[in-house]
Amino acid sequence: MVFSSLEFIYLFLPPVLFGFYVLRALRLESAIIWWLILASVVFYAWWSPPHLLLLFGSVMFNYGVHRLLLRHRSKALFVGGVVVNLGLLAVFKYADFLIGNVNAVANLEMTELGLILPLAISFYTFQQISFLHDTWAARVKPCDFKRYVLFVTFSPQLIAGPIVMQRDTIPQFRLAVFTNRTILNLVLGSTLFFIGLFKKIVLADGVAPVANAAFGLADQGQMLPMTASWLGAVAYTFQIYFDFSGYCDMALGLARIFGIRLPINFNSPYKARSIVEFWHRWHISLSRFLRDYLYIPLGGNRTGILGRHGNLMATMLLGGLWHGAGWNFVLWGALHGSYLIANHVWSASTIGARVRKAVPGFVYSTLSWGLTMIAVIVAWVFFRAETLQGSLIMLQSMVGLSAAASAGWLDMIPNAQMVPPMLAAMLVVVVWLPNGLELTVHYRPVLSAARELVGTRTAWSRIRWSPTPAWSVAIAVVGSMSLIQIYRLNDLTEFIYFNF
Is 323 a known active-site residue?
yes
Query: How much is the average pLDDT of 157-182?
Result: 92
Q: How confident is the model at residue 170 (pLDDT cuts 50, 70, 90)?
A: very high
| pLDDT, position 404 | 58
457 has a pLDDT exceeding 60: no
**Are 219 and 406 a contacting pair, CB within 8 Å?**
no
Residues 6+ apart with CB under 8 A from 156: 250, 251, 252, 254, 255, 260, 262
Q: How confident is the model at residue 413 (pLDDT cuts 50, 70, 90)?
A: low
Q: How confident is the model at residue 226 (pLDDT cuts 50, 70, 90)?
A: confident
| pLDDT, position 410 | 63
Catalytic residue among 133, 323, 336, 344: 323
- What is Dmax (Cα atoms) for the chain? 71
| pLDDT, position 35 | 98
Query: pTM of this prediction?
Result: 0.93
175 φ/ψ sector (left φ>0, alpha ψ -120 to 50, else beta): alpha
Query: How much is the average pLDDT of 276-295?
Result: 93
**Are 439 and 450 a contacting pair, CB within 8 Å?**
no
| pLDDT, position 456 | 47
Query: How much is the average pLDDT of 160-172?
Result: 90
